[in-house]
Amino acid sequence: MLPADGRVLFLRARDGFRLREMARPGWVCEQSFKPFADALLRSGLQVAEPSVQEHFALVLVLPPRQRDEARALFARAVRHAQPGGIVLACIPNAEGAKSGEGDLARLAGPLAHLSKHKCRVFWSAPLDERVDASLLDEWLALDEPRANPAGYASRPGLFAWDRVDVASALLAAHLPADLHGRVADLGAGYGYLSAQVLARCPKVESLDLYEAESRALEPARINLAEAQRACGRELPVAVHWHDVATGLPQRYDAIVSNPPFHQGREDLPALGRAFIQTAADALLPHGRLWLVANRHLPYEATLASRFNDVRTVVTQEGFKVIEARGVRA
């Protein structure tokens, strides 16, 4: 099935020995999650976002769980396939494989499939006029930033994309008005917490958002621009595609964060602890960390090892808001 010209696009590519074994110079990998993109680069693979005009004989897809996001990705895969090209996708059986196969069939026509290792692989026939052009346009539009019910720009598949996360709202409600100077938001998502910092903390002089999912960056910029208009002041605001666990390039007077603690179905409290370590390394000696976490997560030992003063501000609805001051050397 590999094309003779070597032109292959792999959407949501993940590094692994089989990919490294098969990939050739004509392969292009796209990955919006920074740690996964960095892993692909370390393995010597080409990572890029293809232009709309680029087409490939074979497009591989690892669809996400969120259905609108997956449909938009299927539409992009079909759009990038050249006439006579093939789109091939793989989904674990327990994560909506049959639904995903049905969606691609609606868009591209009859499919072939194979089930193995608790996964389902399915692929189109060589693409031709059977592609549903109106459905293609409809599904491409599913990935455009849109206002969620809370009024914030977002897009399907982002964390809490269709609402304000309860934990982030709890942290925002307890942010002190005297936060000042340079502030960073770690794991900023679509920018809700940063928008609240602008609204509630008038002494903040600049704001940096760090987020590993590049699909969140455009909504975050929209929300921060609106937040600045709403509060009637302009200040330097930057949105960075960045893996927080690798450290920060700047020092800050304050950091706010709702650290991620899971990836897919896996709980990864080590990721939250890595955020705390990064925050401690990036804070100035007088700096303050404000974070929110699920009440059961064991962050207190890490906080105590890096800060002189750690206090739980509030515990509510299964979450805890913590302030940490006095960075230990």
Residue 116 sits in the same domain as residue 164 = no
Give residue-wise pLDDT tens across range 29-79: 999 999 999 999 999 999 999 999 999 999 999 999 999 999 999 999 999
pLDDT of residue 188: 98
Q: Find the domain containing 229 and state its range.
A: 146-327
Does pLDDT of 264 surpass 60? no
Last residue of one domain, picked from the residues 96, 111, 141: 141
CATH number of the domain at 80, please: 3.40.50.150
pLDDT, position 130: 85
Beta bridge partners of 240: 210
Share the mean pLDDT of the chain.
94
Question: Is residue 1, in this structure, part of any structural domain at all?
Answer: no
Residue 166, both tokens = 């309860």
Q: pLDDT for 156-214, tens place per residue?
A: 999 999 999 999 999 999 999 999 999 999 999 999 999 999 999 999 999 999 999 99
Helix (H) or strand (E) holding 86: strand 81-92
- pLDDT higher than threshold 80 for residue 300: yes
- Is the same domain home to 300 and 175? yes
Mind listing the pLDDT tens digit for each residue in 207-242? 999 999 999 999 999 999 999 999 998 999 999 999
Counted domains in the chain? 2
Please report, to the nearest 10 degrees, the dihedral formed by the alpha carbons of residues 303, 297, 12, 133 taken in order. Answer: -120
Q: What is the pLDDT of residue 1?
A: 62
Which sign does the torsion angle of CA 100, 102, 106, 109 carry?
positive
Are residues 205 and 57 both part of a single domain? no
Query: What are the structure tokens assigned to 223, written together?
Result: 């929300």
Structure tokens at 323: 């302030």
- Whether residue 98 is found in the same domain as residue 29: yes
pLDDT at 126 over 90: yes
Same domain, 132 and 162: no
Q: How would residue 263 be classed by pLDDT, with cut points 50, 70 and 90?
A: low
Is residue 49 domain-shared with residue 160, that is, in the same domain? no
Do both 118 and 236 map to the same domain?
no
Distance from chain centroid for Cα 159: 7
The label of the residue with tokens 């960056």 reads 217
How would you class 328 by CB atoms within 10 Å of its CB: exposed for 0-12, middle for 13-18, buried for 19 or more?
A: exposed
- CB count within 10 Å of CB 268 equals 13
How many whole angstroms separate alpha carbon 137 and alpha carbon 75? 8
End position of a domain, from candidates 116, 141, 166: 141
Do 59 and 23 share a structural domain?
A: yes
Q: Which of 91, 122, 141 is the endpoint of a domain?
A: 141
Helix axis angle for 192-200 and 166-173, nearest 10°, is: 10
Nearest-angstrom CA–CA distance, 74 and 77: 5
2, part of any domain: no
